Amino acid sequence: MASTPTVVFIDDSATMREVIKIAFRRENIEVVAYADAASALPNIEQGNPDVVITDVIMPDKDGYEVCQHIKQHPRLGNTPVILMSGVVNRAVAEKAFSVKADELIRKPFQPQDLITRVKHLLKSEASPVPGQPQGNAAAALSSIFSAAPASGAAKPRPAPSAGTQPPMVAAPPGQETSPATVTPMQSSGNGSTAKLAINASGDVGKLKVEIARLEGLVKKLQSELAAEREYVRSLEEHFKTAQQG
């Protein structure tokens, strides 16, 4: 008799944890849920989970750190890791690739979509392709945004020549600093003008980073709302089944 697969699920949303438990229970997959990395990692190291699913944004260690910890562990290095993120863009995909994540899923999502991905990873682990190097899933992950339109992708800039002032603040992923912003900083011979340009660039950069952070929080709230609706629907189905029984 085949053993029941075990999935570790890490998310600080209690509603999301309950929804995922209910969804996977129907598939005969055991889910052990944790609210944060601090409580999850010691138990992951003691046990031997088949798959680890973790949210990216968490109060202590983020999902990238959890994934990197698992992938660098001498015994757990081959454990598949799925990252969940409310924002999925080129920067997120590249960071997920850098920590060798196997899957990246955008929140909110349907539980069945996550189940499908987990089953695929379980099947891949049970029947590895001979000669296939590890990290293929992560390599595919890094190419999610490789075909992005030229208008949205950052264009490479030539290396600054001697005496040229480089931009102080990098633009957020998917947005590029316009030449009009950079050129005055490079060509101006007036030190005070260049300093004002740098300060303005820094303020704009901070504002963009703050906007990106707020967008991430909004996505997370939307995900929790969707999960709560799914949880209510699951409870209603369970209640109807109990009444029929």
For residue range 106-117, what is the model confidence (pLDDT) as tens digits?
988 899 999 999
As assigned by CATH, the class of the 6-146 domain is: alpha beta
Cβ atoms of 117 and 54 within 8 Å: the answer is no
Cα(49)–Cα(94) distance, rounded to whole angstroms? 25
For residue range 196-226, what is the model confidence (pLDDT) as tens digits?
555 666 677 777 777 877 777 677 767 667 6
Give the H or E element holding residue 10: strand 6-10
Q: What is the pLDDT of residue 105?
A: 93
Cα(5)–Cα(118) distance, rounded to whole angstroms? 10
Give the H or E element holding residue 89: none
The pTM assigned to this predicted structure is 0.56
For residue range 148-169, what is the model confidence (pLDDT) as tens digits?
334 444 444 444 444 444 433 3
Cβ atoms of 103 and 80 within 8 Å: the answer is yes
181 contacts: CB under 8 Å, gap ≥ 6: 167, 197, 201
Task: Say if residue 128 is preceded by a cis peptide, omega within 30 of 0.
Answer: no
Cβ atoms of 57 and 78 within 8 Å: the answer is no
Cα(87)–Cα(70) distance, rounded to whole angstroms? 23
Q: What is the pLDDT of residue 213?
A: 72
- Cα R_g (the chain), whole angstroms: 22
Whether residue 128 is predicted with pLDDT greater than 80 in this model: the reply is no
Cα(175)–Cα(208) distance, rounded to whole angstroms? 10
Q: What is the pLDDT of residue 76?
A: 92
For the chain, domain boundaries: 6-146
> In degrees, to the nearest 5, what angle opens at C-alpha 26 toward C-alphas 116 and 227?
70
Q: What is the pLDDT of residue 147?
A: 39
164 C-beta neighbours (distance < 10 Å), count: 12
Cα(3)–Cα(18) distance, rounded to whole angstroms? 23
For residue range 25-72, what is the model confidence (pLDDT) as tens digits?
989 999 999 999 999 999 999 888 999 999 998 888 899 999 999 999
81 C-beta neighbours (distance < 10 Å), count: 28
Cα(150)–Cα(48) distance, rounded to whole angstroms? 44
